[in-house]
Every structure is written in structure tokens, then in C-alpha cells.
């Protein structure tokens, strides 16, 4: 039995703030006591957290590590080891990644392969969202998905509404949403109208507008707005809850708010890149704009204020990253990275890094700017993701019985973000040169110190545990109660 005592910190939860000491036994929060309740003789190790905040470890339910793109032609620069080291250094102690079945492999077998690879390499705890194959309307993919929900606790499925080889038709969405409701699964959608996107890109190519910054114009906000509205209406028809990932367009966020006001159970995520960076940052960068290419795209700055309002008003439930790191240069030992599409934006691999920067960027632009309370910050980055995706009460909170995933956060620390001090294998950061106030001093995962002052502490690949997740509606009950009250 190992006993760890965190003394003198200020516990921050989604609705409380108080000074306390935390007693951690064998990786679990055993008790929360008044300051000074326990002495050094009551623990094997004592950590002084005076002047710091004690936050629940971050939960990022949208990452793409060691991830092969739909075409099968390349994969992300970060593998499970480098990506979870980056997560740990930024204060994120749980990730939920994705399983995209390769051609000729069923989703069940693909899931087992991804789980084994992650178990051998992850430094933080992990789970997976299976992706519904484009073939699901014609094969036994849904049978396999139901099996994964029952046997492996994979209680969320992702549907694509765009892109050749990934996009599913409306009848597949309806069938999948009904099965999800029946089996306690939360369906997720990438909401862009694939036909509108394909047409917009074709028009740009016809006009020979190949430069990287034109990616934005191949993904019009109207395509996102239409798909969001359609997905919500289909989910309502199927009497299913719905989660919309990486909302980038403020018009789409307003569609979500409109349906929420009618009582539809639809939840949404956005990402720091959509709140903090804009088209104006990359419009004149030439090939450097490739570093900003993701889908849906990073839109004009005029879009940001309305998207922030959606966060502030509770329309947006979680802040994920959609971390899919590629490099601008082409290093040896990696498959084709961003440079493969130089001068031809449709050929640039989609994705941006951000798993390490997430908490610091959101604390700076949210809490320090006055847009978010410290409680809302915790809710968006840890508590709600854990509740909605079946990880609570084990993850996302500081409470007796929860895993001791704790970030000792120094609110007085000042740090300038830059690729030279970050741990992703990406060779750039969207937040290069940003000075942030507040950063993780210590990061504990199940009571084990895994990062100190932004650096890994003797990282042990494979220490991360797979997380079977509860049925939707079980862990989400806390979120539902808070949402109804607020």
C-alpha cells in the first residue's frame, strides 16, 4: 500500500473551491481533509501544494495518435508514446482516441489491434471511439459495434457525414442512431455536408486556386451548418442523443443552441484552434498555411466571438483538441507529412497539434481573459468530457474513490509556448510565442507523478490503462442534472 499526501492546495471542481489536503492510497483518492489534518507520518510521500490549485487531470476525448488517414497513404507524426507524453506534460491524464478500420479489416479486429498498440505505449489512460465504416449499411459492422459496446465498453461511435470512403448516408445514420440508443451508446458526428464540400473543392481546383490557405473556402460554413441541423433532426427522429465534434462555425453553434432550446439532447465540442487562431493568421503564409489545415477549417476571426459566446452560454459542452499532429518538414522515418501536398491544398494531410497546449491556452484565453470562471474551465476540460463519455466518477473529478489524476497548477507561473519546449513530434505549434499565465507544476496519474514543470518524469510507455466506459446516461447523469439546472 502506497500513501501520498498533497498538502496545502486549493481544490477546484466544476462547482466548488476550497483549501484541502488530499490523501491518496494506491492511486485512488482515499479522503479529502481540512488543511493540516494529516501529518507527514501518515504518508509515504508528502507534496507541498501551497499556493497552487489542485485540478482534476484533463480529459481529452478527441485525439488521433498513431493514426492512419482514410486514404491509408500516411499517418500522424505522433504515436501513442509521444502523443501521451505530450498530453501528460500539458496536464491531460486521459485521452479517448479513434479506431478507423483499415481496408479489409472489420471494426472489431481493428479495435483490438489499436487497443494492443496503445496498451504497449501509452503513458496516460486511454479509451477509443470506433468509427462507423462507410460500408456499415451493407455489412455486419453494426453487429461488431454493438459487440464492442457490450464487451469492451466502447460506448460512443463516430459517424462521418463527409469525405469519400468515410461518409455514410442518412439511412445509415438513422439505423446507427437507433442502435446507439438501444445499447447505451453516444453517437458522434463529423458534421459537414460532403457533397457541398466536394463541390466547393472542385470549384477551387477548376479556378486553379491550389494555395494552402484556400482550404478554408473548400469547407464553407454553410456545409457545416446544414450537416449539424440534419444530424440533429435525424437523431431526434431516432430518439437518440447526439454529440457533434469540433464545431468550428458559429452558425452551426447557433443551430445547436436552437435545438437545445427545444429540449433536444444534443451536445457539442469545440477546440482551442477555432477559438484562438483565425484565417488571418495563415492567409499570407504560403506553404506555412498547411500547418493550419484541418477539417472543419480554422475560420475567420469574425467567427470567433460568436463561437466563444456558444462556449460561455453552455451550448458547447466540452473542449477537445482533435490532436492530429503532422510535420511541415519531411523527417526521415515518417510517412508523408504536410509537405506531400505543397502547393495543392487538397493533398495536404489534415490535422493540427494541440494536446499539450490545450489546458494552458484555455486557461489563458478563457479564465485569465474573464470569459470563463475557473469552474467552467474545469467543467469543459475534465468533468463534462468524463461524464458524457462514460468515464465518471473515476475520471474528471476530485472526490473520494476517484482516480488520483490530479494537476498541481501554478496560477502564478508564466510560460511562453513554443515547439522547442513542447513534446509532440510536430515541428510547429499554432500557439508559437503565446505567453500564458498558469501552467502545470506537477501532474499525477493514478497517484504516480508523470510530469513536472512541463517535462515528463521517467515516462514508462505502457503504464496507461485501457478504460472501458459506462453506457451513456449512467455517467452522464451528473451532466444532465447540471445542464437542466443551468
* 368-399 pLDDT per residue, tens: 999 999 999 999 999 999 999 999 999 999 99
How long a stretch of residues is the chain? 486
The answer to whether residues 27 and 112 belong to one domain is no
The 3-state DSSP class for residue 97 equals: strand
- The pLDDT value recorded for residue 486 is 56
Residues 381 and 464 occupy one common structural domain: no
- Please check whether residues 332 and 285 belong to one and the same domain: yes
Residues 298 and 185 placed together within one structural domain of the fold: yes
pLDDT tens digits along 140-175: 999 999 999 999 999 999 999 999 999 999 999 999
Residue 270, in any domain of the structure: yes
Question: Does 344 share its domain with 442?
Answer: no
Does 277 fall in a domain?
yes
* Domain tally, the chain: 2
* The pLDDT value given to residue 327: 98
Domain check: are 277 and 172 in the same one? yes
Residues 446 and 324 in one domain: no
pLDDT over 80 at 429, yes or no:
yes
**Residue-wise pLDDT tens digits, 278-333:** 999 999 999 999 999 999 999 999 999 999 999 999 999 999 999 999 999 999 98
Residue range 192-207: mean pLDDT, rounded: 99
Instruction: Round to whole Å and give the CA distance between 397 and 405.
Output: 8
Q: How confident is the model at residue 482 (pLDDT cuts 50, 70, 90)?
A: low
- Rounded mean pLDDT of 62-81? 93
Whether the predicted pLDDT of 483 surpasses 70: no
Q: Which helix (H) or strand (E) holds 281?
A: helix 279-282
Last residue of a domain, one of 357, 390, 423: 390
Q: Is residue 354 part of a domain?
A: yes
Q: Which of 321, 356, 390 lies at the terminal end of a domain, its last residue?
A: 390
Which pLDDT belongs to residue 73? 85
State the residue range of the domain holding 64: 58-390
Strand partners, 32: 22
Average of pLDDT values for 26-55? 96
Terminal-residue alpha carbon distance, the chain? 41
Please check whether residues 40 and 67 belong to one and the same domain. Answer: no
Assigned domain for 430 exists:
no
Residue 230 sits in the same domain as residue 153? yes
Decide if 467 contacts 382 (C-beta within 8 A): no
Place of cell 437545445: 260
Q: Is residue 362 part of a domain?
A: yes
Q: Is residue 425 part of a domain?
A: no
Instruction: Report d(CA 62, CA 285) in Å as an integer.
Output: 27
Q: In whole angstroms, give the CA distance from residue 68 to residue 65.
A: 9
Q: Would the pTM count as exceeding 0.85? A: yes
Read off the CATH number of the domain in which 48 is found.
Answer: 2.30.40.10
In the 8-state DSSP scheme, what is residue 243?
E
C-alpha cell at 185: 451508446
Mean pLDDT of 343-352: 98
Residue 159 lies in a domain: yes
| Residue 70 sits in the same domain as residue 50 | no
Least confident of 63-72, 134-143, 208-217, 379-388: 63-72
φ, ψ dihedrals at 188, nearest 5° = -120, 145
**Mean of the per-residue pLDDT values of the chain:** 97
The answer to whether residue 485 scores a pLDDT higher than 60 is: no
pLDDT at residue 70 in the model: 76
404 and 354 within one domain: no
Asked whether residue 63 falls in the same domain as residue 49, the answer is: no
Set of cell numbers at residue 176: 446507427
What is the domain-level CATH number for residue 76? 3.20.20.140
Are β-strands 28-33 and 17-25 bridged in parallel, bridged antiparallel, or unpaired?
antiparallel
User: Of the candidates 327, 360, 390, which is a domain's last residue?
Assistant: 390
Q: Say if 257 falls within a structural domain.
A: yes
* pLDDT value at 479 more than 60: no
Whether 475 shows a pLDDT value over 70: the answer reads: no
The 10 Å CB-count burial string (b at 16+, else e) for 31-43 is: ebeeeeebeeeeb
Amino acid at each position: 500500500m502506497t500513501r501520498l499526501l498533497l498538502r496545502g492546495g486549493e481544490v477546484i471542481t466544476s462547482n466548488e473551491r476550497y483549501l484541502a489536503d488530499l490523501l491518496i492510497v494506491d492511486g485512488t483518492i482515499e479522503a479529502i481533509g481540512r488543511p493540516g489534518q494529516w501529518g507527514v507520518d501518515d504518508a509515504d510521500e508528502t507534496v507541498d501544494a501551497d499556493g497552487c490549485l489542485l485540478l482534476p487531470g484533463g480529459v481529452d476525448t478527441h485525439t488521433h495518435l498513431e493514426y492512419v488517414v482514410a486514404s491509408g497513404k500516411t499517418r500522424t507524426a505522433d504515436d501513442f508514446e509521444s502523443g501521451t507524453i505530450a498530453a501528460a506534460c500539458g496536464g491531460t491524464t486521459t485521452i479517448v482516441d479513434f479506431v478507423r478500420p483499415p481496408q479489409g479489416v472489420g471494426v472489431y479486429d481493428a479495435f483490438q489491434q489499436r487497443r494492443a498498440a496503445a496498451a504497449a505505449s501509452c503513458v496516460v489512460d486511454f479509451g477509443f471511439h470506433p468509427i462507423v465504416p462507410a460500408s456499415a449499411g451493407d455489412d455486419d459492422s453494426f453487429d461488431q459495434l454493438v459487440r464492442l459496446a457490450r464487451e469492451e465498453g466502447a460506448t460512443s461511435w463516430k459517424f462521418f457525414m463527409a469525405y469519400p470512403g468515410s461518409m455514410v448516408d442518412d439511412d445509415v445514420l438513422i439505423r446507427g442512431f437507433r442502435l446507439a440508443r438501444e445499447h447505451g451508446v453516444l453517437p458522434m458526428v463529423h458534421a459537414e455536408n460532403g457533397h457541398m464540400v466536394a463541390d466547393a473543392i472542385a470549384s477551387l481546383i477548376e479556378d486553379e486556386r491550389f494555395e494552402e490557405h484556400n482550404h478554408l473556402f473548400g469547407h464553407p460554413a454553410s456545409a457545416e451548418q446544414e450537416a449539424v441541423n440534419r444530424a440533429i433532426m435525424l437523431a431526434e427522429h431516432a430518439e437518440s442523443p447526439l454529440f457533434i465534434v469540433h464545431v468550428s462555425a458559429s452558425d452551426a453553434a447557433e443551430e445547436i443552441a436552437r435545438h437545445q432550446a427545444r429540449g433536444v439532447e444534443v451536445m457539442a465540442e469545440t477546440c482551442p484552434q477555432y477559438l484562438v487562431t483565425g484565417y488571418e493568421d495563415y492567409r499570407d503564409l504560403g506553404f506555412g498555411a498547411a500547418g493550419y489545415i484541418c477539417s472543419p477549417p480554422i475560420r475567420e476571426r469574425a467567427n470567433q466571438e460568436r463561437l466563444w459566446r456558444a462556449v460561455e452560454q453552455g451550448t458547447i459542452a466540452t473542449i477537445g483538441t482533435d490532436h492530429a499532429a503532422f510535420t511541415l518538414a519531411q523527417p526521415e522515418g515518417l510517412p508523408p507529412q504536410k509537405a506531400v501536398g505543397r502547393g495543392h491544398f487538397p493533398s495536404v494531410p489534415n490535422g493540427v497539434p494541440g494536446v499539450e497546449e490545450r489546458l494552458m491556452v484555455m486557461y489563458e484565453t478563457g479564465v485569465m481573459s474573464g470569459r470563463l470562471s475557473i469552474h467552467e474551465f474545469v467543467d469543459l476540460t475534465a468533468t463534462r468530457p468524463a461524464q458524457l463519455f462514460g468515464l465518471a466518477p473515476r475520471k474528471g473529478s476530485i472526490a473520494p474513490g476517484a482516480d488520483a489524476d490530479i494537476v498541481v497548477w501554478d496560477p502564478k507561473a508564466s510560460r511562453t509556448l513554443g515547439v522547442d519546449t513542447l513534446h509532440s513530434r510536430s515541428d510547429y505549434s499554432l500557439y508559437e510565442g503565446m505567453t500564458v499565465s498558469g501552467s502545470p507544476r506537477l501532474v499525477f496519474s493514478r497517484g504516480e507523478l508523470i510530469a513536472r514543470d512541463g517535462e515528463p518524469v521517467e515516462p514508462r510507455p505502457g503504464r496507461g490503462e485501457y478504460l472501458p466506459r459506462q453506457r451513456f446516461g449512467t455517467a452522464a447523469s451528473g451532466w444532465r442534472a447540471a445542464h437542466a439546472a443551468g
